Amino acid sequence: MEMMGTDKPIKVFLDSSVLRVLTLGNEKLSYLLVWPILGCPIQVVLSSYTLSETLAALAEKNVPPKARIAVVKGLSMGLSQSGWHVHLPEPDPAQVQAMARYCRDQNDWPVLADALAEECSFLVTTDKDLLDLGAEEPIRCMRPETLQILLENDPAIQRILQSIVDSFGPSSPTP
């Protein structure tokens, strides 16, 4: 099953729980940085809310300075080289309140509202309350590993990745 049309990217919203880990250089999540650069039609979406949550977590005393620097560098790379999009407007308070019917954690309501405002297909998170939503309305919430499997099995993405491999030509054995 092909998830994407030819004219619109797959929009993936990153919760701050994933954003912190990704920007620290987690290799298992690197596809979110690399695939858009390679031309795969994936648009990673963040929000001012999730960025604020991430920066607040970095300000905690137990976070080593090297980790803070790594996260800032990762954010910079994602925004400048991978074409990540940031939803800057504050979420509509009525929309945020409406998320109460889906999720018990008030801190997750703005995340859901922002992902919906950006018309994202997936919300990638490690947050238990959001993961409990699963494939339910209002948006499909899943772990990064689950999204990677879905994307790897998408025929359009397979074609793009294969064309990149093919562009290197046949590999020859080294003597």
Tens-digit pLDDT string for the chain (175 aa) = 445 455 688 899 999 888 877 766 666 677 777 777 777 888 889 999 998 888 888 888 888 888 888 888 878 878 887 778 888 888 889 999 999 999 989 999 999 999 999 999 999 999 999 999 877 778 999 998 888 888 888 888 888 888 877 887 666 555 5
The whole-model pTM stands at 0.82
Query: Which residue carries 């899943």 as its tokens?
Result: 142
pLDDT on residue 90: 86
128 and 122 Cβ atoms separated by less than 8 Å: no
- The residues, any chain, with a CB within 8 Å of residue 147's CB and separated by 6 or more, are 12, 122, 124
32 and 19 Cβ atoms separated by less than 8 Å: no
Structure tokens at 32: 């979110």
- The residues, any chain, with a CB within 8 Å of residue 104's CB and separated by 6 or more, are 129
13 and 48 Cβ atoms separated by less than 8 Å: no
Mind listing the domains of the chain with CATH numbers?
A: 10-165 (3.40.50.1010)
Give the closest residue to 114 by CA, choosing from 106, 105, 123. 123
- Spacing of C-alpha 126 from chain mean position: 11
> Cis (ω within 30 of 0) for the bond into 155?
no
